[in-house]
Amino acid sequence: MPPAPASMPESIALETQDSVSATADMCDSRTTDTADSGAAVVGDPAATGDMYDLDETDMALVDALQTSPRGPWSRIGAVLGIDATTAARRWDRLRASGLAWSTAYESWERHGRGQRLCMAFADVAVAPGSLAAATEAACADPRVASVERTTGGGTTGSDGALFLTVSCSGTAALTRFADGPLAGLPGARDVQLSVVLHSYREGADWKVHALDRGQRSRLASAVAAHAAAPQHGDADRALLRSLSCDARRSYSDLARDTGASEATVRRRLTRMLGSGQVRIRCDVSHLAAGRPVISTYRVAVPSAELDAAGHLVAALPGVRLCMAVTGEANLLVSTWARSLSDAAGFEVRLGSRLPGARILRRDVTLLTAKRMGRLLDDDGRARGHVPVDHLL
């Protein structure tokens, strides 16, 4: 059974947080983990509330954490030309204001035989007047990683549309989830699933591109690949849950939360990251990053050309997500753009790069309510957290 609906992101109560030390606080599974930072910082857009663009140092900091999510503040500060304390405090302000955050999640492609995680996109047509309630219920379910209200069509021209990213423990579990909780969302008229077959690009691969190549190379730290198959025991799940609300938490904090020693936590996390079982990403409010337009394209590509097309499209500027999926529209592409005209220009470039493909559908996201477990307000700021969990 799905959990009881949580409050909408707009109504989630904010709690006062301390400064740098607050980033290590563990969040409950259905309560807020971000908050107002207290006194405003002069000149800080995150504190004034009337500006959404991040300054150059903020953007560089986000790029640094996208490149090296758990890199030491000393290294990050050196690359940015600021000291480690300043880097940590600036990140704390961004996180406390909900403009940026770091999270960890289980990679859907790195499951052993018989344990494969099934990821899918669900288009849900919602009756007029029920969209807010349906959004709230979808946000509350841990199996729904992301929730977007889009311009997509439904059974009637007046239907609202939800675009959901969902994960289940297999195709049978996905079927039950679609027929039960998804079909039971308030006002749901229709549910259409597109199961992910292969990922060419996902949110963790996207960067704000505020650093140059030299700076990024100084930050990049290779993680040794592990040949052993990923593990999925209770200890790994506990560690992942502790990381999911703040992927920069210290080993000592992770050890305290999981009841393991620091050495065990360090070894376990190294294995989880090295095997690809877990991915860490630094997310940012798309509005604050100056990319207010989110578009999703459903593209039909000849089967023999799909893999080449996927790699080509994933490399195009502005592409945040590119995945091969089931259905006639076998390539799903999501972009972040600075304007509607830029989004239209991308569609032209896409058509010129894939002359044999057909864009069967294009949707614009009107509101993102949840992104990889993070609950967002109308301004795209993180205001709560529902850890993604497919084992329900």
pLDDT > 90: what percent of the chain?
A: 74
pLDDT at 156: 56
For residue 117, the SS3 value is coil
Mean of the per-residue pLDDT values of the chain: 84
pLDDT at 1: 43
Per-residue pLDDT tens digits for 296-311 = 999 999 999 999 999 9
Q: Is the pLDDT of residue 13 over 70?
A: no
Torsion angle, CA of 16/385/281/191, rounded to 10 degrees?
-150
Please indicate whether residue 44 or residue 191 has the higher confidence score (pLDDT): 191
pLDDT at 45: 39
- Averaged over 315-338, what is the pLDDT? 97
When mean pLDDT is compared across 58-62, 112-116, 321-325, 380-384, the lowest value belongs to 112-116
Dist CA 181 CA 137 (whole Å):
9
Dist CA 163 CA 191 (whole Å):
10
- Averaged over 277-303, what is the pLDDT? 95
pTM, 2 dp:
0.84
- Averaged over 102-127, what is the pLDDT? 81
Dist CA 37 CA 97 (whole Å):
6
Dist CA 280 CA 94 (whole Å):
18
Please indicate whether residue 92 or residue 52 has the higher confidence score (pLDDT): 92
How many Cβ atoms sit within 10 Å of the Cβ of residue 223? 12
Q: Are 192 and 122 in contact (CB under 8 A)?
A: yes
Backbone angles phi, psi at 390, to 5 degrees: -85, -10
Per-residue pLDDT tens digits for 193-240 = 999 999 999 999 999 999 999 999 999 864 445 555 566 688 998 999
pLDDT at 64: 96
Q: Is the pLDDT of residue 334 over 50?
A: yes
Tell me which H or E stretch contains 295.
strand 293-300
Dist CA 321 CA 335 (whole Å):
7
Using pLDDT thresholds of 50, 70 and 90, give the confidence band for residue 116.
low
- Averaged over 237-246, what is the pLDDT? 92
Per-residue pLDDT tens digits for 152-202 = 865 556 788 999 999 999 999 999 999 999 999 999 999 999 999 999 999
Q: Is the pLDDT of residue 80 over 80?
A: yes
Q: Is the pLDDT of residue 54 over 50?
A: yes
